[in-house]
Amino acid sequence: MNGFNDEIRLFIRVLEFMGTFAGAISGVRLSSAKRFDWFGASVVGLITAVGGGTLRDTLIDAPVFWMEDPFYIITSLLAVVAVAVFGRRFISGQVTWFVFDTVSISLFMVIGLQKSLFYGQSWWCAIILGVITAVAGGILRDVCINEVPLIFRKELYALACAAGGFLYFALPFVGLENLYARNVLSVLVIFVIRALAIKYHLGVPVLDGRGAPFRHRR
């Protein structure tokens, strides 16, 4: 990521650490429900934290981010330690859980979008790669614990990320060019959409077994 403006690099780094920590927590939390051992849970935490970004870097043929810098691995392991030490405080409570979960995906969305743009991807690829960065880790996590990935069934996960991505590219058309503002607004929008979706149980219409017309999730 040589072409990077140092300020932006630092900005992205901070986001990445926060998202990595949150992602690892979610991985450890869900593995614990399957009575994985601590090592297995750590691996799933790691996969959840860096899985999306690893897939993104493979697709854009960038060097894999966590291999260039030990801090991602260290951050993930810190999350495992945090769960081991503050177990209940860290992962019980729907609110805490929602915050970690949503902070993680909204940050990863913006990070993935930014990095893809820096690697010369088109705006629509950047959005898709952002969504991949945000949700692929969670999909890999759910595959590892042998569950149907939550994001295919739960409230507006990936769709919220996509909305944040579109906003990022829409803002300049309404005169807002500032990179920081656009990133922050995207994160906020994703966070708000997720919060509303959970508060009001909003969801995407469900496909019934016959793949027939719309019917709402019971």
165-170 contacts: CB < 8 A, separation 24 or more? Answer: 165/109, 165/113, 165/126, 165/127, 165/130, 165/131, 166/127, 168/110, 168/113, 169/123, 169/127
Minimum CB separation of residue 9 from a copy of itself in Å reads 20
Picking from 158, 138, 157, the residue whose alpha carbon sits closest to that of residue 148 is 138
Q: Which of residues 59-88 bind a copy of itself (CB under 8 A)?
A: 59-61, 63-64, 67, 70, 73, 83-84, 87-88
The residue from 3, 6, 39, 175 that contacts a copy of itself (CB under 8 A) is: 39
Minimum CB separation of residue 17 from a copy of itself in Å reads 18
Rounded CA gap, 27 and 31, in Å?
Answer: 6
CB 15 within 8 A of CB 107: yes
Q: Per CB under 8 A, which region of 11-19, 99-107, 187-195, 208-216 contacts a copy of itself?
A: 208-216
Q: Map residues 18-37 to x or -, x wherever contact with a copy of itself holds by CB under 8 A.
A: ----------xx-xxxxxxx
Name the residue type at position 44: V
The contacts of residue 4 (CB under 8 Å, 6+ apart) are 12, 118
Rounded CA gap, 116 and 57, in Å?
Answer: 9
Q: Map residues 107-136 to x or -, x wherever contact with a copy of itself holds by CB under 8 A.
A: --------------xx-xx--x--------
Minimum CB separation of residue 217 from a copy of itself in Å reads 7
Picking from 85, 111, 73, 83, the residue whose alpha carbon sits closest to that of residue 187 is 111
The residue from 10, 14, 152, 178 that contacts a copy of itself (CB under 8 A) is: 152
Nearer residue to a copy of itself within complex by CB, 19 or 53: 53
Q: Please report, as ranges, the residues that interact with a copy of itself according to CB under 8 A.
A: 28-29, 31-41, 43-44, 54, 58-61, 63-64, 67, 70, 73, 83-84, 87-88, 90-92, 121-122, 124-125, 128, 139, 143-149, 151-153, 156, 158-159, 203-214, 217
